[in-house]
Amino acid sequence: MITKQTQPTIILGIETTTNICSAALWDGQRLWQEVTETARSHSKTLLPMVEAVLHQANLQLSSVQAIACARGPGSFTGVRIGVGVAKGLAFGQDIGIIPISPLQAIAYRSMKLEKTSAVTALMDARMGELYAADYVNENGIAVLKGQEKLTNIAAIAVGKQVFAGTGMQEYRQALTEKQAKLSRVIFPYAEDVLELARKLPIQPVSTADFRPVYLRDKVVD
């Protein structure tokens, strides 16, 4: 049961769904962030980064009122690490977790930095497939249109939207041949996850109710 306030002021953010691992903290006035770009080291780097942002803000973990966590899809191992750490920290502090899609974080980052109005966020799912979702910009927030899906590049429809995300790296040539507009935004970061958690009308859920989203049963990393 979550006993702390349901409208948190101090929020910890976690993003581990790609090769980039990041942690961020909103202390009520300022955002702090740590980023590591070393692949396959999230299990070693995430907790030290959490400690680092808390230290920078001169706060203890006990001050955190909620954790915003990228819940997937993405790298199976990365999602599992982020979700596991978020649940462990939240359970120990009896606080809730705010689940955020990394696809939404990618679209939000493009809208924030590039003022895009419509974004298709793509994440490389390996095995010739992509995680994809379409978003529109509504007052600076990336709002999902339709559903997140597991798909392939041939099925991606190109219109006036901008394409962003790790899938854009792998399929840049194919997207260019489709005459798609490409964003500079590749990765989601903890700051994006945290900002969405602050702006969206999402209530924290308990550790028991917080579950990863994979969109695929077969494990591929």
Task: Give the pLDDT band of residue 217 (cuts 50, 70, 90).
Answer: confident
Please tell me the distance from the alpha carbon of residue 103 to that of residue 74, in angstroms, as a whole number.
9
Q: How far apart are the C-alpha atoms of 195 and 126, rounded to whole Å?
A: 28
Mind listing the pLDDT tens digit for each residue in 38-67?
A: 777 899 999 999 999 999 999 999 999 999
Architecture, CATH, for domain 102-182:
2-Layer Sandwich (3.30)
Q: What does the DSSP 8-state code read for residue 17?
A: S
The verdict on pTM exceeding 0.85 is yes
- CATH topology for 11-101+188-199 is Nucleotidyltransferase; domain 5 (3.30.420)
Q: Give the pLDDT band of residue 178 (cuts 50, 70, 90).
A: very high
3 pLDDT tier (thresholds 50, 70, 90): very low
**pLDDT at site 40:** 78
Answer yes or no: are the C-beta atoms of 171 and 95 closer than 8 Å: no
- Indicate if 102-182 has the same CATH topology as 11-101+188-199: yes
